[in-house]
Amino acid sequence: MDIIIYISMAGMTIVFIYGVMLYNSLVDIKHSVSQAWSNIDILLKQRHDELPKLVETCKQYMGFEQETLKQVIAARSQVATARESGNIGALGAAESSLRIGLGNLFAVAEDYPELKASEKFQHLQARITGLENSIADRREFYNEAVKIYNVRIEQFPDIIVAHWFKFKSRDLLEFSEADKQDVNIGKLFG
């Protein structure tokens, strides 16, 4: 009888230790997702700070497309609101609008040689383009971390621990199909 008690206690101890290991693993993955998001958030803030400088530089050149500037300013505001609220779905849509607006802005800038030749404009264009590339890279890391996390909380036996401790799935940061397409230059100048 004593051997059965010892075997039962050893079995419960093994299950408990395994459960703790699963929990700790899920916590580690959850924090990886948070860290990946933080890296994107930093870049979004940096770009947010650069956009008004770009808009002001463009405004200095008479006749520059005001509608294009308004589109960029409105999209910037949408990105900031979505970022601050942590709404990943809204952020993806707002990012798409901003990327389209920036693409349009840079395309329209081609029609203004003085603007295009401006050292300040060139610097800001390069800085924003660099930030865009970094955001795209970090988005891949974030989405990969989210995928790993979401898969783990749905797999057995992790799902049991995830359910007990209320681990919730996270959303991928996705951009619209329109954002993935090239800017239609003919439409801008037609």
Burial 163-185, CB ≥16 within 10 A → b, else e: eeeebeebeebbbeeebeeebee
**Terminal alpha carbon distance of the chain:** 90
Domain residues of the chain, as ranges?
A: 2-189
- pLDDT in tens for each of the 190 residues of the chain? 689 999 999 999 999 999 999 999 999 999 999 999 999 999 999 999 999 888 888 877 756 677 888 888 899 999 999 988 888 888 888 988 898 888 888 888 888 888 888 898 889 999 999 999 999 899 999 999 999 999 999 999 999 999 999 999 999 988 765 444 444 434 433 3
This prediction's pTM? 0.78
CATH T-level assignment (fold) for domain 2-189: de novo design (two linked rop proteins) (1.20.1440)
